[in-house]
A = this chain, B = another copy of it.
Amino acid sequence: MTDRSRQWTAALAVIGDEILSGRTQDKNVAQVATWLNEQGIRLAEVRIVPDEPARIGVAVNELRAAYDYLFTTGGIGPTHDDITVDAIAAAFGVPVIVHPEARAILEDYYRDRPGGLTEARLRMARVPEGAELIPNPTSGAPGVKIENVYIMAGVPYIAASMLEALSGKLEGGKPIVSVTVGARAPESDVADLLRETEAAHPGVAIGSYPFFRDGRYGANFVIRSEDGDLARSTSEDLADRLREAGFEPVAGGL
């Protein structure tokens, strides 16, 4: 039975030299965060680590112990720099095996493709002993689940299809509801007003995210709560207070 009253948490380990070098703009943090929230699970920490087995191992062992779930992205393809499965197997202290079902999926997927199931492609059937598979409706090679660790592809659209396959299958709590109000206000002009609004509504957190656009300052104020009605009534109160202070509130944000 899912205990919806407690807060469920997850961490994400992004494995990839290409992110740390600045070459590739990460897209997985935002998409995993958004998906987790829909599952009623809070993304509580992200670590981006290089393609080094020892560094992956430390991150995986710390994060899987600290949170309910750990997701990883990256490093599960067919090439020599795809070392995530080996690193995580080592972190768990188990050998790497070829998963029979993964092998069958790959045999089927590559049957009519040029080259067939090469040795390189067969690498993608390797899993830590004791692991299960995460379906990959997009490109054949499955993700891997071992205990509370979900090992996913780094290519964002493939990771997205693995998340889709996991939707509704994880135990979670209440999703966080967030309501956004924007205003063309320099955030320093409304700092007191924000603090007072948050203090007046226990159970909400208000974040302030300033921007400078079209030559003018503005900010979006995000009200978050597990209680959707409370988030909405707080946003209305905040809009009233902004209006009184001379700033036109914009529901949904700017």
A interface residues, Cβ below 8 angstroms from B: 14, 17-27, 29-37, 42-51, 55, 77-81, 114-115, 118-121, 123-124, 139, 155, 157, 176, 178, 186-192, 194-195, 198, 205-212, 222, 224
Provide the residues of chain B in CB contact with A198, threshold 8 Å.
Answer: 80
- Number of this chain's copies in the assembly equals 2
> Known contacts A30-B22, A81-B208: does B47 contact A45 (CB below 8 Å)?
yes
A192 to B47, CA, bound (A): 30
Closest Cβ–Cβ distance, residue A230 to chain B (whole Å): 17
Q: Is the interface of A mostly helix, strand, loop or mixed?
A: mixed
> Given known contacts A20-B33, A20-B44, A46-B48, what 18 new A-B pairs fall within 8 Å (CB)?
A14-B46, A17-B207, A18-B209, A20-B43, A21-B37, A22-B30, A23-B178, A45-B47, A45-B49, A45-B55, A47-B48, A77-B188, A78-B191, A79-B187, A79-B188, A80-B195, A80-B198, A81-B207
| B78 touching A188, Cβ below 8 Å | yes
> Known contacts A47-B47, A79-B194: does B209 contact A24 (CB below 8 Å)?
yes
Provide the residues of chain B in CB contact with A188, threshold 8 Å.
Answer: 77-79, 115, 118, 120-121, 124
